[in-house]
């Protein structure tokens, strides 16, 4: 399927698609072949300023006054267009990110429903009357949009995360500046054209491409930007929070994770193994909520390991365009280097790296950024490889003796994004759920995010919530009004 433009991809500023003011471009790659996939225009500081001005003007002149019903209608129309072009968007994602096409199609399946959900919950943005002590005073609240929102995207799920940020921001009545990752910008650019086709007014959605150190920083510090939503690494998130603090901007951060999969001796091991293998294979482990620490009770550790190794040995690794492929490449040469560095570090720390899978690389994929599924055997909780987010197909296998030790090891990390546990003991499940320092906990099932349920982390995994009703609240401010009825 021919889905990639041969011309350089433009910026979207106001009503016009255009090149950057300084004429710079950058390359984006196909990670399966290490070949240039497309060229993209890079925004300058002046371009960012122009995009913010366009968004601010659209917000002040009409978008903030658009009726909830009309905003919902536009989002529903966008959902229809997304469904129409879903296969095309999935192929763009596969070529630019390296996901197997079956994975890309599956990950985009729920996006139209996500847009329809946010269109449907717009009426929930209502205030309330408050019975204060003075009966002559009518006290009520109003939820209002924030204004211009900067949405800074990661490279691992560009389309899914773009939809889940744009939906609630626009539903609440904000205008947006979208900054895709410079590593994987193409699907977000294609999505922006659907917004135009759906009938969103010029300036409501703007797209600026380029590095975070220049384009992202300019957005975060711009005085007309009221809110910053960022998904990415914890170090970058901390810098964004510090930069946004100068203007006391609203900030939502969805950051790193080092999620545990906790397997007790009474667990259905086949189901727990399926989750462990799936988290290692899916998007080559480049998933923030992936369980990268396997905490297995000592009495079933060897049985669990044997089942997991059997599954990983059969993983088909190769060209992501092949429907038979289960696991594709990492997103970039830099990411492959990072992952290999951590595998080497784990070995130096005393772990035993073990690699699996059936690598089938043809001539065009021989230089791709492939790394096979890797287990770090003989790991312990305080190894750096078991503490840092590697963001690749690498898991540390760590044993535990009892419930108390499992909880201690699970919480022994600076992250707190998600956790999964398997046990048939209902009391233990609820005790663990209460004790785990994680924004999301899944019991006897894998953890897949849902557009209609809140998502966000504890500790250094982030601030605020995305998805669900909480996401639309994150995009509003609450005003209290007191009205003396005696005058």
User: Has 326 been annotated as catalytic?
Assistant: no
Half-sphere exposure of 132 (CA within 13 A, CB side): 14
- Give 196's contacts (C-beta < 8 A, 6+ positions apart): none
- Annotated active-site residue in 42, 93, 254, 466: 254
Distance, in Å, from the CA atom of 466 to the CA atom of 454, rounded to the nearest integer, reads 6
DSSP annotation of 212: I
Distance, in Å, from the CA atom of 2 to the CA atom of 5, rounded to the nearest integer, reads 8
Backbone dihedral angles phi then psi of residue 180, each to the nearest 5 degrees: -65, 160
Helix, coil or strand: residue 157: coil
- Give 214's contacts (C-beta < 8 A, 6+ positions apart): 45
Count CB-CB contacts under 10 A for residue 355. 14
Distance, in Å, from the CA atom of 216 to the CA atom of 236, rounded to the nearest integer, reads 10
Rg (CA), the chain: 23
Distance, in Å, from the CA atom of 362 to the CA atom of 340, rounded to the nearest integer, reads 22
How would DSSP label each residue in 456-469?
A: --EETTEES-BSHH
List active site positions. 254
């Amino acid at each position: 399927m021919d889905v990639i433009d041969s011309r350089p991809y433009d910026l979207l500023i106001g009503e016009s698609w255009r090149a950057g003011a300084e004429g710079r471009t950058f390359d984006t790659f196909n990670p399966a072949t290490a070949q240039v996939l497309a060229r993209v225009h890079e925004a300058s500081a002046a371009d960012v300023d122009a995009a913010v001005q366009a968004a601010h003007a659209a917000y002040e002149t009409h978008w903030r006054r658009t009726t909830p019903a009309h905003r919902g209608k536009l989002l529903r129309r966008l959902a229809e267009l997304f469904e129409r072009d879903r296969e095309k968007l999935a192929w763009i994602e596969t070529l630019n990110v390296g996901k197997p096409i079956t994975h890309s199609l599956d990950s985009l399946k729920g996006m139209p429903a996500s847009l329809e959900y946010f269109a449907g919950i717009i009426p929930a943005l209502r205030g309330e009357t408050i019975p204060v002590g003075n009966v002559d005073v009518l006290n009520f609240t109003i939820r209002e949009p924030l204004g211009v929102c900067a949405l800074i995207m990661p490279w691992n799920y560009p389309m899914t995360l773009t939809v889940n940020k744009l939906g609630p921001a626009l539903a609440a009545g904000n205008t947006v500046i979208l900054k895709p990752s410079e590593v994987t910008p193409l699907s977000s650019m294609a999505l922006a054209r659907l917004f135009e086709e759906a009938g969103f007014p010029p300036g409501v959605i703007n797209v600026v491409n380029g590095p975070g150190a220049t384009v992202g920083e300019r957005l975060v510090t711009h005085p007309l930007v009221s809110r910053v939503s960022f998904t990415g690494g914890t170090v970058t998130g901390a810098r964004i929070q510090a930069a946004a603090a100068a203007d006391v901007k609203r900030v939502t951060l969805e950051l790193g994770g080092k999620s545990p999969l906790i397997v007790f001796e009474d667990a259905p091991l086949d189901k727990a193994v399926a989750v462990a293998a799936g988290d290692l294979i899916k998007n080559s482990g480049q998933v923030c909520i992936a369980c990268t620490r396997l905490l297995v009770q000592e009495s079933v550790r060897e049985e669990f390991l044997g089942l997991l190794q059997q599954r990983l040995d059969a993983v088909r690794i190769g060209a992501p365009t092949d429907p038979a492929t289960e696991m594709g490449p990492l997103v970039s040469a830099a990411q492959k280097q990072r992952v290999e560095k951590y595998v080497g570090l784990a070995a130096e720390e005393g772990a035993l790296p073990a690699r699996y899978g059936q690598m089938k690389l043809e001539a065009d994929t021989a230089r791709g950024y492939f790394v096979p599924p890797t287990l770090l055997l003989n790991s312990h909780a305080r190894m750096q490889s078991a503490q840092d987010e590697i963001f690749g197909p690498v898991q540390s296998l760590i044993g535990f003796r009892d419930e108390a030790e499992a909880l201690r090891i699970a919480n022994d990390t600076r992250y707190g994004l998600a956790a999964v546990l398997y046990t048939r003991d209902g009391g233990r499940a609820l005790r663990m759920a209460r004790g785990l320092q994680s924004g999301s906990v899944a019991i006897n099932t894998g953890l897949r995010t849902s557009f209609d349920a809140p998502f966000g982390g504890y500790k250094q995994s982030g601030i605020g919530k995305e998805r669900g009703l909480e996401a639309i609240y994150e995009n509003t401010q609450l005003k209290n009004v007191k009205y003396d009825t005696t005058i």
